[in-house]
Structure 1
């Protein structure tokens, strides 16, 4: 339950530096401030144990890839969301954050499994773009009027395409279909959620799998979806 008139946004960032956690979250700070949020930025998850503060946070924006989280920190985050704090994020910063916690996986509703390479392993350039493939983000027709994706048509990106393990509790707003190529070990295309929301107690969760780096986040469609997702998740 919010206890003050000020809207508080908490940015939690860290983990694998290849996802540019500092640069990408910095790029959203002006947006948050323009929408009236008092913003706190943390490089550690210990903030999740600050029960009184977390009870007053309207939305957590998290990008914390391949990190770990202590039990009391995770309990604080889960309790805050269940009590109405929103949680929003993109790419591995939310869908591949705490591999040590099945409870976090249940909270988020999707876990990164892989991003297929663009060519057989022995043909890859090893230049940072090995898994940058051209693919489409398909808006789910039945959800096209959702405020996060309203007015946005299917669009293409050249970046990592996330294969995620997920469950049926997600409200999927967009999908992406991973091809089955001659050199792949899987035998048919796989359609995965690319953008989804989730209700947890009184809280809202928003996840966008596009968002590998600033280049992707500067795509007009991706930026618009994430900005809307943050506002939608906010209490």
Structure 2
């Protein structure tokens, strides 16, 4: 299997450190790490990729880069990522946003305490109980057709009373053509991704998206 890791953009999301947490998952496979979105202009690199892992906040895709990436996922590559690296980026790229299934808008209160509720029945979250985190609570616009694996409920605090009672997806999957997409809105920092439940969901999600057995 060939894994393409594309990382960079805003340094506040620690793209090198966070992606490095998961590289050992693919020991024995071919892993290519790129620090430029120009990789999406390389059709040969994309054609070889079975899984694309992206952590690139505040990026912009050219029309050609967007076309190549979206086409490759529709053809069968997996696409996975977390936090701003997938949902707070490429805002002008509507086909990219459609593929991912969500778009970051805000996180009222910045770093806050909140509960993540596991929903549904999926190998990625099997056996994972609801858990508490202290991090950014992402408010997103999301596709209603997502397979939602975890949610959080906003309480209307931190100057955003209009959010009261809103249940927001935190983790989701979707099929896109012949490809699989996995998104986890947790993951502002390496510490966030090392929360045991988050780490389990993330490692399983990456393997599921790649079509590998889902193992702890």
State the TM-score, normalizing by the size of structure 2: 0.94
| Residue aligning to 1:116 | 108
Alpha-carbon spacing, 1:84–1:187, altered in 2? closer, same or farther (3 Å): closer
1:51 correspondence with 2:30: no
Q: Write out the 4+ residue segments of structure 1 that deviate beyond 4 Å after TM superposition.
A: none
Count, aligned residues = 211
The one of 128, 131, 135 aligned to 2:114: 135
Report how far residue 182 of structure 1 moved: 7.7
Separation in 2, partners of 1:30, 1:207 = 20
Question: What are the Cα deviations for residues 33-72 of structure 1, in whole angstroms up to 9, with x where unaligned?
Answer: 2xx3211000111212222332221111100001111111
Separation in 2, partners of 1:183, 1:132 = 14
Report how far residue 188 of structure 1 moved: 2.7
State the TM-score, normalizing by the size of structure 1: 0.86
| Residue aligning to 2:14 | 20
Report how far residue 185 of structure 1 moved: 4.2
SS at match of 1:207: strand
| Residue aligning to 2:124 | 148
Matches within 5 A, 1:69-218: 69-117=61-109, 131-140=110-119, 143=120, 145-181=121-157, 183-186=159-162, 188-218=164-194
Report how far residue 187 of structure 1 moved: 6.0
Q: Contact between 1:24 and 1:214, CA under 8 Å: does it hold in 2? A: yes
Specify every segment of 5 or more residues in structure 2 that has no aligned partner in the other structure, as ranges.
Answer: 212-216
| Residue aligning to 1:128 | none
Question: What are the Cα deviations for residues 199-218 of structure 1, in whole angstroms up to 9, with x where unaligned?
Answer: 00000000000101011011
Question: What are the Cα deviations for residues 168-208 of structure 1, in whole angstroms up to 9, with x where unaligned?
Answer: 11110111111113843416321110000010000000000
The one of 204, 210, 213 aligned to 1:228: 204
Q: Contact between 1:12 and 1:43, CA under 8 Å: does it hold in 2? A: yes
Q: Contact between 1:164 and 1:192, CA under 8 Å: does it hold in 2? A: yes
SS at match of 2:162: coil
